[in-house]
Amino acid sequence: MRRGILSTLALVLLVVQAWAQDATVTVKTTEGEHVINRNIYGHFAEHLGRCIYDGIYVGDDSTIPNTDGVRNDIIDALVELKVPVLRWPGGCFADTYHWMDGIGDPAKRPSIVNQWWGGSVEDNSFGTHDFLNLCERIGAEPYLAGNVGSGQVKELADWVQYVNHPGGSPMSGLRIENGQKEPWNVKYWGVGNEMWGCGGNMAPEFYANLYRQYSTFMTDWTNSDGLYRIASGANGADYQWTEVLMRDIPKPLIEGVALHSYSVIDWGKKGPAKNFGEELYFKTMKAALFMEELVTKHIAIMDKYDPEGRVDLIVDEWGGWYDSKESETMGVLYQQNTMRDAMIAGATLNIFNNHADRIKMANLAQIVNVLQAVILTNEEKLILTPTYHVMKMYNVHQDAVLLPLELETSDYEFQGEKLPAVSASASKDESGAIHISLVNIDAKESQTVILNLDGTDNKKMTGEILASDKLEDYNDFDEADKISPKKFSGFKGKNGEYKVTLPPFSVVVLELK
């Protein structure tokens, strides 16, 4: 009987090995040139649904433990995540937001109707001071999105003065009067948002001229490197938009140009956040992997007008976007976060890493309770999503030197279509440790990766994996840790040559010291 069991197990192992597909990753460990900017791992918080109110901010009279109204558990989670930069207050909301409504005595602040997202009435209790103080607490750089669509040049110029001027000016005096003596020295500024759409339905030529006007009056007093001004960039594959901005805006007036792209299969019917099945999963991953073509083509246009690389590409909105019935009860654009979202995050971050020569910031949409959130809350409860865990696993790449690699991969096939099954990126940190992030998007089959790391003396390999039994698995408020990173030992080898087995729909980060 025992012999029969062993024979059966051996047969199962042979079958599993037959299913496993081969990929080859060759990491050029001595050829690193570009640094992976930590801001590629940035986030985005908009006044939308329950992201700010009843998410990040519960008020200082809440029974939920908080610091100046911001949930302590969220602060702790974001510190642990090493959030490098946080964009606020939008999004579409930014071009209806008047920053002076959110300063001074909260009891005297006017309310606003959130015309873009559900028509809710907000009391402006969370404003500039609250956001910038939050950024300080979590160690993140603030990225303020200015109102160009419904605002005025003076309004944005005054905001810059309010947060950055050391003292002696009208706006710095107002800041000091409101309790903040020292300036925050905010570096990153968005000059409008989605000007092709909710920001004003503008033509690119019109916006380019408007941008020139606004950026001219955004004077900086304290930052020796100057302000970092980001133009509202293209919607996905609108390459003409990037062409016009790069052609018409003088380089001294612009530091970054944005790009927005979501992993959406059909804007008219996005599909469910849960119980989606393999067909919708495949289509979603096809949309996510399209990011490679998008950034490559936009960068080519930027190179034509800016061969010196002075202007950076900023992907300040990206992520999965689905139709969710939970939005009816849990807030506008609330959606669950499954292993599918972990695949989107891992594959997309690999793309951003590998284009670190031009991509200097990216902002996942959004940080709490909205779209591909890293944190979900329900009253006093909080859960960390699979996306949170991927971004935490990947934070070893922040400010590390990108290591070029060559990748050959088999395909993930579904109903006659094919996608590359494996994606990868690699970096070397200040200590000399090498990190390799590997993603297998195949919903059914393992992938065997032959990993070559010639030129390194590092010998000790360890690993971490995010995986689950089912593609549609997620963490919920009754089972918060169903999906979490585990120690990974699915590799063997030595002297720079390793064989790594990636389970279906998994994310692995290896460390070689």
Catalytic residues: 194, 317
Contact residues for 142 (Cβ-Cβ < 8 A; gap 6+) = 85, 86, 88, 131, 132, 135, 184, 186, 188
Greatest Cα pair distance in the chain: 88
Burial of residue 15 (CB within 10 Å: 0-12, 13-18, 19+) is: exposed
Distance CA 317, CA 305 (A): 24
305, with CB counted inside 10 A (0-12, 13-18, 19+), is middle
Q: Two tokens at 209?
A: 């001229």
Return the DSSP state at 53.
Answer: B
Which residues partner with 272 through β-bridges? Answer: 323
Token digits for 40? 């590629």
Q: Are 140 and 78 in contact (CB under 8 A)?
A: yes
Three-state SS for 324-340 is CCCHHHHCCCCCCCEHH
Contact 302, 311 (CB under 8 A): yes
Compute CA 47 distance to the chain's CA centroid, rounded to the nearest angstrom: 17
Query: Which of 43, 33, 41, 85 is CA-nearest to residue 357?
Result: 33
By CB atoms closer than 10 A (0-12, 13-18, 19+), residue 286 is: middle
Residue 244 CA: distances (Å) to CA of 247, 250, 257: 5, 11, 11
- In the DSSP assignment, the letter for residue 106 is G
Of the CA atoms within 13 Å of residue 102, those in its CB half-sphere come to: 21
Query: What DSSP line would sit under 355-386, residue for residue?
Result: TTTTEEEEEEE-SBSSSS-SEEEETTEEEE-H
